[in-house]
Chains A and B, each alone.
Chain A
């Protein structure tokens, strides 16, 4: 049974400003679902709606089989970790963690046991009697997480929990959250981030939000290998997937596309006779492009090279269609040279009207 069930959920702010619509999503127990999307896509708003901090303008939301549209946050069985930690500055770590239980009038022994348990999981035991101002950023973040563990919620909500940490701490804390999830395999977590590395590494499923609605839901590798639309294709992966316009010339098990830039692309995406002459965008990830001698997909002069050590990123900015390629190894000498690039058919994606041809039917 779904832990969290959203049906046609929408959010409209006063003044008819629609920020979310047609949100349909099922989250199972034990999943770690990550909401990603560009800034302002409504991912934090959706999380706050699940938390009960924003009202739901339309549709239904169920947590553990209970309709929660009009249930206050504290009764929904959720706990939220805020981007800013939001610790109570005048309370010690222990008081911070026990606040919710005290409000719920739990017994003293019960509270102590819960706090000790959370402190053990997060290695906060030596810090229990400190005030938040005496903690480092990472410790504060752990206290914020501990505060939610103590409540033993059905669903954990994380609102960009790592965005306030510096780069090194962010990687360490990301691993801690992954470990935390391993320690609590039955807990359901929803995690909002704009960082796709966090999304790819932590998520059991990713929800990509774009343009007020869900662009695609899937495991990280599904999103990477078989994006449903151009948005997801370009959003997941760095540098973003190249899109080259062209026309379908041969159909069948393999589709051949004559590119406007002069090259020819062969894709393993199956098409029908009716698709002949269809205008499509051919998507190829920079890392899937390799140097070839015959039948190049793309030919151009390298304008900039960025040697990162393990890979070299080549920019083709002068061609009729701009392109980025990522070749393993160091190729600084390619700058200014003409390069022919091709890709294996199974790595070539086809999009018509922004939608992947793979998902047609």
Chain B
């Protein structure tokens, strides 16, 4: 007994540890993407996402002062603010790249040619000169400032809603839905009928059909791309939504039928026979008994298929995306962004997060159907 208990606890440790490890491995980059997508390009280049929640002390790039010149008491004065944001506090400042932290806030420094500069803690400055600075190069100010946490939704606005921007993936986002939803629903509909027939209806050739479905499971998708596209072109579908729906349906069906048939065949035979004695037709048995009881299998396949279609690039490239640019999908859009905006992490992080947030929602929505014990109480 003792050894069994010890084994079990060791095993449960392994299980717990693995779960924690998996959760961390998964959560860490996801959180990173999520946080980064709300930061500005400057913030991303100057600090990591993990420090985004704390006030940061950092050396800012030099800012050249400028503004309207006013004359007062024989001095030419320029006043203004270094930062647009209100809550940035200057810790130290300087006018030379060698000593960027030379002065404290509030100090006044004498520059050459009878000019002075004062920078206050809140970033406002006052510059005075004996002669007009019209046409002169004004000095640069180096600051070391502390910035409170700041988040912006600008990235999302640029990515999703800014029609003018070439980065905008609003169109690609919608296109992906247009591809994914029918490409998930159609195979489930077909497969559920087929699975019922293969599981519970007697007809000649049933075993061969099942074998064929299993055989189709192992056919590599790439093998079928060219012939299928040729076929689509011949029958006049060409590239387009109809074509990609058919393609995804076809590629998804073997797994769907196999999965659902195996689930349905495991439902108690007595229930189906009882329904038959009760006078239900095959169609009624299917819709009123089998479908409600097959929810876990339907949901798991729906999640599979949704993820696969959502993340698909290859099939979309072959069957959908043409040179018009109107039929791009998110995966393709992100690939293009990587090429054109490879350095703009805020754009890439936002794009990546947009593309994973939908599958996440689908998973959490469908997860409640992945329940055990659906058959409880039916048969003993």
Q: A-side interface residues toward B, CB under 8 Å?
A: 51-53, 72-75, 78-80, 82-90, 99-100, 103-104, 131-135, 137, 140, 147, 151, 164
Contact = CB atoms under 8 A, between A and B. Distances in A.
Contact of A86 (B271, B279, B280, B288): B271
Given A90-B293, A103-B278, A137 B380 contact: yes
Nearest to A100: B278
Nearest to B291: A90
Interface string B116-156: 00000000000000000000000000000000000000000
Contact of A90 (B276, B278, B374, B379): B374
Interface in B343-380: 373-380
Given A74-B279, A100-B279, A137-B380, A86 B274 contact: yes
Given A86-B273, A87-B377, A140-B377, 6 more contacts: A80-B277, A82-B274, A86-B268, A90-B292, A100-B278, A134-B377
Nearest to B274: A86
Contacts of B373: 133
Given A84-B268, A86-B268, A51 B377 contact: no
A159 to B, nearest CB: 9
Contacts of B278: 74, 99-100, 103, 147, 151
Interface in B268-309: 268, 270-271, 273-280, 284, 288-289, 292-293
Of the listed residues A84, A134, A140, the one surrounded by the most CB atoms of chain B closer than 10 A to its CB is: A84
A86 B379 contact: yes
17 contacts: A52-B277, A72-B276, A73-B276, A80-B274, A84-B379, A87-B271, A87-B377, A88-B271, A88-B275, A88-B289, A90-B374, A103-B280, A133-B377, A137-B380, A140-B377, A140-B380, A147-B274
B273 A85 contact: no
Interface residues of B, number: 24
Contacts of A52: 277
Contacts of B274: 80, 82, 86, 88, 147
Contacts of A135: 377
B270 A84 contact: yes
Contacts of B293: 89-90
A82 B289 contact: no
Interface string B74-100: 000000000000000000000000000
Contacts of A80: 273-274, 277
A172 B78 CA distance: 102
Contacts of B284: 103
B273 A89 contact: no
Contacts of A88: 271, 274-275, 289, 378
Contacts of B271: 86-89
A151 B275 CA distance: 13
Contact of A89 (B275, B276, B277, B375): B375
Contacts of A90: 292-293, 374
A190 to B, nearest CB: 14
Of the listed residues B268, B276, B284, B379, the one surrounded by the most CB atoms of chain A closer than 10 A to its CB is: B379
A73 B245 CA distance: 41
B206 to A, nearest CB: 14
A72 B273 CA distance: 12
Nearest to A73: B277
A323 B279 CA distance: 53
A59 to B, nearest CB: 22
Contacts of B275: 88, 99
Contact of B276 (A53, A83, A140, A147): A53
Given A89-B374, A89-B375, A53 B380 contact: no
Of the listed residues B274, B275, B292, B373, the one surrounded by the most CB atoms of chain A closer than 10 A to its CB is: B274
B214 to A, nearest CB: 23
Of the listed residues B270, B275, B289, the one surrounded by the most CB atoms of chain A closer than 10 A to its CB is: B270
Contacts of A73: 276-277, 279
Contacts of A87: 271, 377-379
Interface in B240-290: 268, 270-271, 273-280, 284, 288-289
B273 to A, nearest CB: 5
Contacts of A147: 274, 278
B380 A82 contact: no
Nearest to A143: B377
A83 B376 contact: no
A85 B276 contact: no
Nearest to B288: A99
Contacts of B270: 82-86
A78 B378 CA distance: 21
Nearest to B375: A89
B20 to A, nearest CB: 33
A74 B273 CA distance: 11
Contacts of A104: 279
Contacts of A103: 278-280, 284
Contacts of B378: 84-89, 132
Nearest to A52: B277
A203 B276 CA distance: 28
Nearest to A130: B377
A138 B376 CA distance: 15
A73 B284 CA distance: 15
Contacts of A79: 277
A140 B271 CA distance: 14
Contacts of A82: 270, 273-274, 379
